[in-house]
Structure 1
Amino acid sequence: MKKNLLPVKTAGLGVGLLAGAIGLWSYSARPLGQSSAEVPETNRFTKVVLAEKLNEPMEMAILPDERVLFIERHGAVRLYSPVTKQLKTIATIPVSTKYKDKEGTETEAEDGLLGLNLDPNFSQNHWIYLFYSDPGASRNILTRYELRGEELVLASKKILLDVPVQREQCCHTGGSIDWDRDGNLYLSTGDNTSPRATLYAPIDERPGRGPWDAQKSSGNTNDLRGKILRIHPEADGTYTIPNGNLFPKGTDPSDRTKTRPEIYTMGHRNPYRISVDKRTGYVYWGDVGPDAGVDSVNVGPTAEDEYNQAKKPGFFGWPYFVGANKAYYNVDFATNQSGAIFDPAHPINESPNNTGLRELPPAQPAMISYPASESQHFPIMGSGGRSAMAGPVYYKADFPNAKRAFPDYYNGKLFLFEWMRDMILTVSFDQQGNMSQLERFLPDMPFSHPIDMAFGPNGDLYVLEYGTGWFTQNDDSRLVRIEYNGGNRKPVVQLTADQKAGAVPLTVRLSSAGTQDADGDKLTYEWKIGPKTGGQPVTLRAPNPTYTFQKPGRYKAVLTVTDTKGSKETREMEILAGNQPPQVSLSMKGNRSFYFPDQPIAYQVTVSDKEDGSLANGRILASQVLVWAGYEDETAPAQAGHQFSEAAYLGVGKSLMDKSDCKACHFTDKKSVGPAFVEVAKHYKGDANAVASLSNKIIKGGGGVWGDAIMTAHPQLSPADAGEMVKYILTLADAKTAAPSLPLQGTYAIDPNAKGKLVIRASYKDKGANGIPAQTTEEVLALRNPTVALGSSDSQSKNIMLFKMGPQPYPMTIVQASDTYVKFNQLDLTSIRELLFAVAMPSQISPVGGRIEVRLDSPTGQLVGKTDEIVPGKEQSGAAMFQPQMVKTALTPTTGLHDLYFVFKNEKTPKNTLFVPVTVQFIP
């Protein structure tokens, strides 16, 4: 059906995604079961970076004195002190991090130092628990150590529990540790099964294929893998079994040898982070799901990740079910034939690798589940790569003396996080413990793959960020602390200068415009201006002073802003006196807002520099000026900067790649989970079918070329976007990062298949002067594709709803009443004679229709065009209801730049929803 949604060229907008979106718009407008309590202001939360450039951090524990103990996968045990603000490695545990196949080839695995937690009586006994991969045997072990001050006493090691594993193939380790209020320890374990033979259920029962059969582990009642285990550690380093696990002590004698009493929940793929609510005893975890990007007939459903809740022990489905008990088929891997579909009410494990019970408990559905593409049930999850993980449940009463306890709004809420999507969520529950509300937590605060979180004694939320790439030390890997400020807030300081570099005497107008105080306090301003290398600064007490630099040099201007309660904040910037930046001019003929496929762009570049001379007098050579043109992602900024960026040369594909999850598994020039992009480019160099085949593999997932590694499906990507990403990768075969410079004057022919915006850049770097380094000036001209998404408007009136669905860069625009509008800032209408609107009429919003007026500079400004009445028609029902009407209007000849308003009108039924204007095409 999606192939026929919108047969209109929309410059890559993909407005066909409107299908299904409108039916969810009212749900997505607010979180599930919106609470009446007031949401705390996001500016009361501050992210404080404590340590950076960590080496694959895994799990952490906050000590009673607010020190932070955490582990890294390769065995390091590290301790951060809030007093010294220093991070130390206090021990290194020998661990296994690789697996070895039958041919003896070693490959990096997910094994290592995986789990950490403190004993509930840590203040008295100083015990910590570690879960890691034993380098001397095929087992993962739960151990106990004593932490004495800053020393991890290695001789105190006690092994509590063995989890036998296979190390012929990766993956899925689990490894998270938590406690309940009765002192029972919970440990998660992964299915220890390779996903690389299928994107669906790994149930390969052929002889010798045990590493590819999760029935041996997750579906096996007599195996500790693919489980959440629940034991009670004893003082002597042993453990006992608490009452209430999945297989009670009263299990039939004939079955006692077929069950493990440690099992609390089973049927998990990779429950990487778990959490136990100390008050209710409920267990929460995120289960990282499989990789299939589409439903497959007689095989199984699209892959989903899960957030789960266990109010009691149970079986949670894997490898027979995923998400809301979506069932797989019993595929025979020997014949590739499909048997019956598995029954969640009566799951049966008949694998020859099963050593446990044949009949399993009924499968329990996930609390939340979502695919790589947009989720119809949980659109708040967005789209992209998936790695669900569970964080703590917050109770304010647990922090009675905390300096910065989180507000009451979060009391009783569960914190979840998504590793791949860099998001944190909160879940609220009703009196029965059922989910009543799901919402984003600090959606505007950036994270880099959060992998663990915990509340500290002061009420702060600590977050471990793993960083961008797998199996490597990442520069963006961090330990951070999120602090809540319920009282007076520091001013937020902004500072600018009308020029930051120039010849002396250099007069600079300094500005504090944009500085704010969230509490509305009166502010005082103090500037200190002096040499960057030291010396007595000059003090200026005014919000926006002017200062003249008489001598060449590098200076800094420091602004300190103080509120009436004494809270202050400081920012600074550098001023370079002694070298005037070059002047670069990029002029062109024709419309300065849009490009058109059949109209080449005529341009000319001129350059002059106070110290170096100019192109006109020959002291600056044409070869010293760089001119480039190309197409970029419509949403990427195209502002002039101090130098050319690599992305400017590599265009749309590089921009899309930077926004994707690809860097989690790939690096440009070295192997990670997947091959280096350079190696991919070299492998497919000269292959005429490479773009099509690799685009298909990116979208659908797959493997087979680079060993047994399988790439996760990305169904949220359009074929066009995947193609642009592949084209970028293939350019790396020749290690080219820049296109040849264009002439200083000429015409640029428009690609008839162009999408995104056309960006023309001209740049010159001078020679420096008076000891001041060289300055670069870049002039940028950005022209839009003539087909523009209404959802990309710069501002909107009330009763305009923007609905984001899928990976498209812009939301849909739903017009909910008459006399509403969207505004585009400063568009050039020179030579534009017609506008062509694509307007959808989906029946779910009961559209009444109306017309679109085109006005200049205000919603009631000069009328330069209007459509005929747009009325609902036959397209309201069936597959065609997402086919937009194409509505044209002539445009009064207009020149120059104007704010452009599209005003939506229906005087007969002004309070009803009119329609969904999708795109507008500017026709010269």
Structure 2
Amino acid sequence: MRKLKYFKTSLTLCAAVCISVILFAFNAGRPGTPVRFKKPTAIKQPKSAAIKKPEDNRFVKTVLSNDLNEPMQLAIAPDMRVFFIERAGNFYVYNPADNKTTLIYKFPVKAVEKILQGMLGMTIDPDFRTNNYIYFYYSTQVGDAYKNRLSRFVISKNSVLDLQSEKVLLDVPLDAEVSAHSGGSLAWDKYKNLYLSTGDNTVPFESEGYAPIDMRPGRTTFDAERSAGNTNDLRGKILRIHPEANGTYTIPDGNLFKKRTLNTLPEIYVMGCRNPYRISVDPETSILYWGEVGPDAGTDGKQGPRGYDEINQAKKAGNFGWPFFVGDNKPYTKYDFKTQIVGDLFDVNAPENLSPNNTGLKILPPAQKAMVWFPYDVSPEFPVLGKGGRCIIGGPVYHYNPALKSNTKFPEYYDKVLFVGDYMRNWIFGVRMDENQNYTGLDQLMETNGDFRRPIDIKFGPEGSFYILEYGSAYGLDNPDARLVRVDYNAGNRAPVAKIATRDTIGLKPYKVVLNQKSFDYDADDKLSYKWLLNDKTVISTAENPVYTFLKNGVYKITLKVTDAGGKSSTDTKVIKVGNTPPQVAISTSANSSFFFPGEQTFDYKVAIKDREDKTIDPKRVKIGINYIARVENNQNLTGHQEIAPTYNYGKALMAKSDCKACHQIYTRVLGPPFIEVAKRYAGNKKAVDMLAVKIIKGGGGVWGEHAMSAHPQLSKDDASEIVKYILTLNEAKSTASLPRQGNITLKDHVANNNEGRYILTASYTDKGGAITPLTTTESIVLRPAKVQAESADIFDNIDKREKAVYATDNKAYFGLKNVDLKNIVQLTYSYLSKNLNGTIEVHIDSPDGQVISTLNFTAAADQKQFTRQSTPVTDPQGKHDLYFVFTKNKRSTRGEISVDWVSFDKF
């Protein structure tokens, strides 16, 4: 896979998508003349129109083995044992008979300290039921040389590995100083030919994300022409051999080069691969598929096209272009790394390898384009794949067998679908093809409830269930969420979903609680039964919504078990605390409590605290503070009772949605430096934010190690800057001083920020515990700009939200703001443009049909480019309410649209 890149000269951030991780390092550049691709715009359905896509809730995900350490590849035996390996050499078996995972053997693999070496691949023989052969691909040392070795062993039916049975089939040369691109995947075709993927074993970091074709003396390991582009080298290939019973192999007919062809190797089936990390072979057609982890460049450049990951298909042997082409045969230039002169584009019909490091043919077979290709940003051809980091994982083709007696097999909808995953984007897609195995569309698996934790290998078992090895959160760490998972399809009765809905969770004895529940069953006709348990032992009721009285102080666990008529069940739990009540915290002000206003910089406040159990309020337990947030995500609703409000940080929120932590942690080194080290290095550097934001977007080398960080062109400069700002705050001392319970605050931070941002005034009190445990209540006031940009509203319905305005064409469309105080507000001013439309904007409270407190009548503009400013009175309904701005068209207005830029809340 692609070796993760750190920062070099500036920083190793890995911002909103922290680069394609795990065994890779890549490079790409400016496009030549791309091959035109006729894009199918819709997913073609299975041959029978009656076959509908199954509901996500029919898929059941079960964790078979947890807390793995860098899992790599798996294989499922006919008896349902699941074998899998970890990179450090551990070989395990999961036995469904007792649901236990057992370590079979720890291989003493060599070069484990090199990030991409170790235990790389495994598979079982097609005749495993009778011969018990199992194959491993692993790093070893022979004399002074490192090699990646393919060997066969015998394993018993009770999972004992016979170490004396090893038969070495094949050694692949390895430049061990290159910690990049090992490949290592194994697969079989229906003729019992074995396929092995090998990476190009080339340093990609100094090619700036483009083609590593550096032919300067002493730079051999920087030249993929010596490996992937070399017909006389096993690296950067997918090999095809036929293992024999005696531990040797023969060469099948139909490989890329005929046997005994000068300067070629007969084992090569596919050449021109960068890092074909996971491969599969369709068991019916013997067509080869793989995920090709591509290079890093975020934009097209003088050396060639940007980086693309690829989903590839080989119906026959061929050359797939690397390092001369990428994606749909986008050509690189013949770039001279010494003179930095850009030469001609490589010829797709007859690529020429003139490298002095090439020991094979000089004129190569024509390049074959990818079936699917996608960059960091949204792909014009395949937009459904989204944007972000890239690390494609090839997977199997599923064949639905109606005769297979299995209650968990995948449905006919997925017949003949190729499944692929992405380690960085955490998705699994099905690639749909026609009867000739030509691409027709992409279809995401378990879009709403996949919860994949970085898929690293995917297979179907003999019963038709789907098995996934998940690598876990961060590359190179022993992740607690690394696991072996099985996904079953449930075509019949589904288990109900237990859900406790009671809000009565804290009180004083005797505490009478209504145990409400909102359980449901996806199978609408199922009759449900209920069982309420206290502390997992005592059944206290079998009613749907019982009432129970707690007579003693304590902390209790209530469990609800819901069972359907078919005997399937699920549980939910809730903790009830008896012996204390939460404090009461209230913030009041004579000012408006929703907005700050241009020109006003003083805000008065008063905090009132009461507690039923504490006779006196302990000042040391009171915390009051104010925080200014320069930017907030659109639709991020910060209200007074949310815990997110006091601690919200825009850069932190962006990072949380990204894959940054795949290669960075705050305090622990992963592939890149800990964020705290970055913060310390650039402390006090006034140019750091701009410099590092550019580095995140463009990528490049740095001083944090040998590796560079990949580009993130999908990030805006503003968002990259906010991520940097958050990282730099990690080195700042946190103030713990509390404001007084009453006073005036100077609001000035928004002045330098174009009157944008949010102020969050937070007050909290932790009581003394009563008879059980301390409880904390937190209250906040969030002040937003009085001039509200319409596109930053909290609620939208039938609204087209664009970069700088919202647009409405439908009657009763609306946008809304949550939790708004209109104290001291006398009018609303709109900036709007109405095109061929007359009507009103009505402001309703609490719902789109609620009380109307303001009405704006608008008319079609004479100048169709000039926004109009218009004011209208508003009535204060007292207190805080959600506001709904509802568009109503006049009956005679049928076509046109109105766009609103902003709404200003104006004081006296």
TM-score class normalised by the smaller sequence: 0.7 to 0.9
**Structure 1 equivalent of residue 465 of structure 2:** 460
Residue aligned with 1:865, SS: strand
Give the Cα–Cα distance (whole angstroms) in 2 for the partners of residues 867 and 200 of structure 1. Answer: 55
Give the Cα–Cα distance (whole angstroms) in 2 for the partners of residues 74 and 789 of structure 1. Answer: 54
Residue aligned with 1:570, SS: strand
Map of 1:840-859 to 2, 5 A cutoff?
853-857=841-845
Residue aligned with 2:649, SS: helix
> By how many angstroms is 1:426 displaced?
0.8
Select 2:654's aligned residue among 631, 653, 656: 656
Greater CA drift, 411-420 or 777-786: 777-786
Cα deviation digits, residues 496-521 of structure 1 (max 9, x gap): 322322222222222103x2111113
| 1:57 has 2:67 as partner | no
Give the Cα–Cα distance (whole angstroms) in 2 for the partners of residues 340 and 462 of structure 1. Answer: 46
Map of 1:159-308 to 2, 5 A cutoff?
159-198=168-207, 199-249=209-259, 256-296=261-301, 298-308=302-312
Select 2:885's aligned residue among 896, 901, 908: 901
Sort the Cα spacing of 1:837 and 1:330 in 2 relative to 1 into closer, same or farther, 3 A: farther
> By how many angstroms is 1:193 displaced?
0.8
Give the Cα–Cα distance (whole angstroms) in 2 for the partners of residues 688 and 443 of structure 1. Answer: 43
| 1:726 has 2:736 as partner | no
| 1:768 has 2:749 as partner | no
The two structures, once aligned, show a CA RMSD in angstroms of 3.0
> By how many angstroms is 1:622 displaced?
5.3
Give the Cα–Cα distance (whole angstroms) in 2 for the partners of residues 558 and 755 of structure 1. Answer: 47
| 1:142 has 2:150 as partner | yes
Give the Cα–Cα distance (whole angstroms) in 2 for the partners of residues 146 and 641 of structure 1. Answer: 62
Contact 2:812 / 2:886 at 8 angstroms: preserved in 1? no
| 1:892 has 2:882 as partner | no
Give the Cα–Cα distance (whole angstroms) in 1 for the partners of residues 328 and 153 of structure 2. Answer: 40
| 1:121 has 2:102 as partner | no
2:661 partner letter: K
Give the Cα–Cα distance (whole angstroms) in 2 for the partners of residues 210 and 399 of structure 1. Answer: 55
Give the Cα–Cα distance (whole angstroms) in 2 for the partners of residues 192 and 263 of structure 1. Answer: 16
Contact 1:607 / 1:614 at 8 angstroms: preserved in 2? no
Contact 2:303 / 2:333 at 8 angstroms: preserved in 1? yes
> By how many angstroms is 1:762 displaced?
2.2
Sort the Cα spacing of 1:662 and 1:240 in 2 relative to 1 into closer, same or farther, 3 A: same
Contact 1:789 / 1:919 at 8 angstroms: preserved in 2? yes
Residue aligned with 1:692, SS: helix
> By how many angstroms is 1:613 displaced?
3.1
Sort the Cα spacing of 1:849 and 1:282 in 2 relative to 1 into closer, same or farther, 3 A: farther
2:563 partner letter: T
| 1:379 has 2:402 as partner | no
Greater CA drift, 272-281 or 497-506: 497-506
Contact 2:584 / 2:777 at 8 angstroms: preserved in 1? yes
> By how many angstroms is 1:237 displaced?
1.1
Residue aligned with 2:493, SS: coil
**Structure 1 equivalent of residue 627 of structure 2:** 629
Residue aligned with 2:576, SS: strand
Residue aligned with 1:358, SS: coil
Residue aligned with 2:296, SS: coil
Give the Cα–Cα distance (whole angstroms) in 2 for the partners of residues 838 and 122 of structure 1. Answer: 71
Greater CA drift, 434-443 or 627-636: 627-636
Cα deviation digits, residues 128-180 of structure 1 (max 9, x gap): 11111114432111111112122222222111111101112221111111111
Sort the Cα spacing of 1:908 and 1:386 in 2 relative to 1 into closer, same or farther, 3 A: farther
Cα deviation digits, residues 170-227 of structure 1 (max 9, x gap): 2111111111111011111111111110221111100110111111111111111111
Contact 1:850 / 1:871 at 8 angstroms: preserved in 2? no
Q: Normalising by structure 1, report the TM-score.
A: 0.86
Sort the Cα spacing of 1:606 and 1:409 in 2 relative to 1 into closer, same or farther, 3 A: same
Sort the Cα spacing of 1:544 and 1:756 in 2 relative to 1 into closer, same or farther, 3 A: farther
Give the Cα–Cα distance (whole angstroms) in 2 for the partners of residues 430 and 791 of structure 1. Answer: 44
Contact 1:855 / 1:903 at 8 angstroms: preserved in 2? no
> By how many angstroms is 1:372 displaced?
0.9
> By how many angstroms is 1:760 displaced?
3.3
Sort the Cα spacing of 1:527 and 1:388 in 2 relative to 1 into closer, same or farther, 3 A: same
Give the Cα–Cα distance (whole angstroms) in 2 for the partners of residues 356 and 872 of structure 1. Answer: 69
Contact 1:649 / 1:738 at 8 angstroms: preserved in 2? no
Contact 1:586 / 1:606 at 8 angstroms: preserved in 2? yes
2:873 partner letter: T
**Structure 2 equivalent of residue 526 of structure 1:** 530
> By how many angstroms is 1:636 displaced?
5.1
**Structure 2 equivalent of residue 78 of structure 1:** 92
**Structure 2 equivalent of residue 9 of structure 1:** none
Give the Cα–Cα distance (whole angstroms) in 2 for the partners of residues 447 and 30 of structure 1. Answer: 26
| 1:41 has 2:55 as partner | yes
**Structure 2 equivalent of residue 743 of structure 1:** 740
Q: Normalising by structure 2, report the TM-score.
A: 0.87
> By how many angstroms is 1:869 displaced?
2.3
Residue aligned with 2:413, SS: helix
> By how many angstroms is 1:707 displaced?
2.4
**Structure 2 equivalent of residue 3 of structure 1:** none
Cα deviation digits, residues 694-732 of structure 1 (max 9, x gap): 111011101121122110111111111111111121222
Contact 1:849 / 1:871 at 8 angstroms: preserved in 2? no
**Structure 1 equivalent of residue 366 of structure 2:** 362
> By how many angstroms is 1:232 displaced?
0.8
Give the Cα–Cα distance (whole angstroms) in 2 for the partners of residues 34 and 592 of structure 1. Answer: 54
Sort the Cα spacing of 1:776 and 1:886 in 2 relative to 1 into closer, same or farther, 3 A: same
Sort the Cα spacing of 1:789 and 1:89 in 2 relative to 1 into closer, same or farther, 3 A: farther
Q: Provide the identity percentage.
A: 43
Give the Cα–Cα distance (whole angstroms) in 1 for the partners of residues 826 and 310 of structure 2. Answer: 51
**Structure 2 equivalent of residue 417 of structure 1:** 421
Give the Cα–Cα distance (whole angstroms) in 2 for the partners of residues 29 and 435 of structure 1. Answer: 9
Cα deviation digits, residues 333-375 of structure 1 (max 9, x gap): 1111111122222211111111111111121121111111122
Give the Cα–Cα distance (whole angstroms) in 2 for the partners of residues 548 and 284 of structure 1. Answer: 62
Contact 1:131 / 1:142 at 8 angstroms: preserved in 2? yes
Select 1:489's aligned residue among 487, 494, 511: 494
Contact 1:292 / 1:302 at 8 angstroms: preserved in 2? yes
Residue aligned with 1:542, SS: coil
Residue aligned with 1:396, SS: coil
Residue aligned with 1:264, SS: strand
> By how many angstroms is 1:768 displaced?
1.7
Contact 1:650 / 1:728 at 8 angstroms: preserved in 2? no
> By how many angstroms is 1:920 displaced?
3.7
Sort the Cα spacing of 1:767 and 1:134 in 2 relative to 1 into closer, same or farther, 3 A: same
Please list every run of 5 or more consecutive structure 2 residues that lacks an aligned counterpart in the other structure: 1-37
Cα deviation digits, residues 85-135 of structure 1 (max 9, x gap): 22221111112345xxxxxxxx64211111111111111111111111114
Sort the Cα spacing of 1:917 and 1:425 in 2 relative to 1 into closer, same or farther, 3 A: farther
Select 1:479's aligned residue among 479, 484, 496: 484
**Structure 1 equivalent of residue 3 of structure 2:** none
Give the Cα–Cα distance (whole angstroms) in 1 for the partners of residues 137 and 837 of structure 2. Answer: 62
> By how many angstroms is 1:482 displaced?
1.3
**Structure 2 equivalent of residue 679 of structure 1:** 677
> By how many angstroms is 1:537 displaced?
2.5
**Structure 1 equivalent of residue 827 of structure 2:** 833
Give the Cα–Cα distance (whole angstroms) in 1 for the partners of residues 146 and 791 of structure 2. Answer: 58
Cα deviation digits, residues 389-441 of structure 1 (max 9, x gap): 11111111187122211111111111111110001111111122111121211
Give the Cα–Cα distance (whole angstroms) in 2 for the partners of residues 614 and 452 of structure 1. Answer: 60
Greater CA drift, 710-719 or 572-581: 572-581
| 1:133 has 2:139 as partner | yes
